[in-house]
Amino acid sequence: MPGILILGETENGSLGSVTGELIAVGRSLADSLGDPVSVALQDEALADLASGAIELGADRVYTVADALLANAQPDAQLSAFEQVCQQTEPSVVLIGRTPLGRDLGPRLAFRLGVAVAQDCTEIGVDSSTNRVIATRPVYGGSAVARVTFPGDGVQVVIARPKTFEALEPDSGRTGDIEELSVQIDPDVIQTKLVETVTQEAAGIRLEDADVVVSGGRGMGGPEPFEQLSSLADVLTGAMGASRAACDAGWLDHSYQVGLTGKTITPNLYVTVAISGASQHMAGCSGAKFIVAINRDKDANIFKSASYGVVGDWNNVLPAFIESVRELVES
Task: Let me know whether 211 and 184 are in one domain.
Answer: no
**Residue at 115 is within a domain:** yes
Residue 254 lies in a domain: yes
92 and 138, same structural domain? yes
Res. 47 pLDDT band, cuts 50 70 90: low
Q: Is the pLDDT of residue 268 over 60?
A: yes
- Looking at the fold, whether 140 and 12 belong to one and the same domain comes out as yes
Q: What pLDDT was estimated at residue 1?
A: 54
Residues 214 and 104 in one domain: no
Asked if residue 36 and residue 151 are part of one domain, the reply reads yes
Whether 195 is in a domain gets the answer no
Whether 211 and 181 map to the same domain: the answer is: no
Question: Do residues 27 and 109 share a domain?
Answer: yes
Q: What does the pLDDT read at residue 94?
A: 98
Task: Report the amino acid identity of residue 3.
Answer: G
- Asked whether residue 258 falls in the same domain as residue 127, the answer is no
Domain that holds residue 210: 206-329
SS (H, E, C) the chain: CCCEEEEECEECCEECHHHHHHHHHHHHHHHHHCCCEEEEEECCCCHHHHHHHHHCCCCEEEEECCHHHHHHCHHHHHHHHHHHHHHHCCCEEEEECCHHHHHHHHHHHHHHCCCEEEEECEEEEECCCCEEEEEEEEHHHCEEEEEECCCCCCEEEEECCCCCCCCCCCCCCCCEEEECCCCCCHHHCCCCCCCCCCCCCCCCCHHHCCEEEEECHHHCCCCCHHHHHHHHHHCCCEEEECHHHHHCCCCCHHHEECCCCECCCCCEEEEECCCCCHHHHCCCCCCCEEEEEECCCCCCHHHHCCEEEECCHHHHHHHHHHHHHHHHHC
pLDDT for residue 196: 80
Contact 235, 324 (CB under 8 A): yes
> Has residue 199 been placed in a domain?
no
Mean pLDDT of 283-291: 91
pLDDT of residue 70: 77
* Nearest-angstrom CA–CA distance, 102 and 118: 9
- In-domain check, residue 196: no
Do 127 and 31 fall within a single domain? yes
pLDDT of residue 45: 61
Name the pTM for this structure.
Answer: 0.83
Residues 19 and 143 in one domain: yes
What per-residue confidence (pLDDT) applies to 180?
94
Mean pLDDT of 300-323: 94
Inform me whether the pLDDT recorded for 131 exceeds 80: yes
Tell me if 118 is assigned to some domain.
yes
What would the pLDDT profile of 68-86 be if each residue is shown by its tens digit?
887 768 999 999 999 999 9
Residue 14 belongs to some domain of the structure: yes
Mean pLDDT over all residues of the chain?
Answer: 91
Q: Which CATH number characterizes residue 144's domain?
A: 3.40.50.620
Segment 301-305 shows an average pLDDT of: 95
State yes or no: pLDDT of 97 exceeds 70.
yes
Q: Are residues 157 and 301 in the same domain?
A: no
The tens digit of pLDDT for each residue in 145-166 reads 999 998 889 999 999 998 898 9
Please report, for residues 32, 89, 134, 174, 282, the alpha-carbon distance to residue 130 in angstroms, rounded to integers and kept in the order given.
8, 17, 13, 27, 28
Q: What is the pLDDT of residues 244-260, one digit of tens each?
A: 999 999 999 999 999 88
- Are residues 161 and 277 located together in one domain of the fold? no
Q: Is 198 inside any structural domain?
A: no
Question: For 172-219, what is each residue's pLDDT tens digit?
Answer: 999 999 999 999 999 988 887 788 877 666 678 898 899 999 999 999
Q: Give the side-chain half-sphere CA count within 13 A for 23.
A: 28
- Strand pairing partners for 126? 131
Tally of domains within the chain? 2
- Higher pLDDT residue, 168 or 282? 168
d(CA 84, CA 63): 10
